Chains A and B, each alone.
Chain A
């Protein structure tokens, strides 16, 4: 039983399209994240939600809009996709209990914009 699951695993789309990536966790965590891994494998946080409330919003174009319908789900919607958006996007979740902040990651969604 998967702890953090993302769909789809692969996504190929044309420039200008709008797409969504879904994420669900069954760990009972109260905090969820989106990370972006670029072509050089560099991982950088994009967003963080705690109990459906946005708490971290790094410098990300406003074409990216996260949505958290409940604390077990954090979806990422991307408008007007650009070539530079091609990357692997990782969802993760954790608790906010100090000393127990292990982040559990999804398997990643490889987005290719053509």
Chain B
């Protein structure tokens, strides 16, 4: 069964400090991984996906199949990065195609 684990429920950093939100997964197939973000009073939205290998709002995430990880990183955190972050794995196979399995979420707080 697929599973996504985010070990940190809460993460606090100061503005300008590096930040890393951890995500580990277990999946028997070839994973398709995402980071979703929910800012205060806004809807859940896609931040980035591993296929795109892009940097969004200064965030990057590299899929490490050996360590089954997809950690989210940003070298210099900003106050506007404060939000709830979810790591998600997309089930690309069989009848469960489209299903997203979410981690427990990490609340990031960036202090001034």
**A interface residues (Cβ-Cβ under 8 A, vs B):** 4, 31, 33, 35, 40-45, 48, 50, 55-56, 90, 92, 94, 96, 98-99, 101-108
Q: Do B92 and A98 have beta carbons less than 8 Å apart?
A: yes
Asked if B84 and A56 sit within 8 Å, CB to CB, the answer is no
Number of B residues whose C-beta is below 8 Å from A? Answer: 25
Interface of A is mostly: strand
The yes or no answer to B65 lying at the interface (CB within 8 A) is no
Which of B18-26, B68-76, B97-105 makes up part of the contact surface? B97-105
Q: Is the CB of B100 within 8 A of A45?
A: yes
Pair B43/A45 contact, Cβ less than 8 Å: no
Tell me whether B51 and A99 are in contact (CB under 8 A).
yes
Say yes or no: A41 contacts B43, CB within 8 Å.
Answer: no
B contact set with A: CB distance below 8 Å: 32, 34, 36, 42-46, 49, 51, 84, 86, 90, 92, 95-102, 104-105, 107
Chain B contacts for A43, CB-based, 8 A: 44, 86, 102, 105
B98 A50 Cβ-Cβ under 8 A: yes
A-B contact pairs, 21 of them (CB 8 A): A4-B43, A31-B98, A33-B98, A35-B100, A41-B107, A42-B105, A43-B102, A45-B99, A48-B98, A55-B96, A90-B44, A92-B44, A94-B98, A98-B32, A98-B92, A101-B90, A101-B98, A102-B34, A102-B46, A103-B100, A105-B43
Q: Report the nearest B residue to A94, measured CB to CB.
A: B98
B52: nearest residue on chain A (CB-CB)? A99
Bound-state Cα–Cα, A40 to B84, Å: 12
Kindly provide the distance from the CB of B5 to the nearest chain A CB, expressed in whole angstroms. 12
Nearest CB in chain A: distance from B102 CB, A: 4
Q: Which A residues are in CB contact (< 8 Å) with B101?
A: 45
Q: Would you call A101 and B32 a contact (CB within 8 A)? A: yes
Contact of B102 among A31, A42, A99 (CB under 8 A): A42
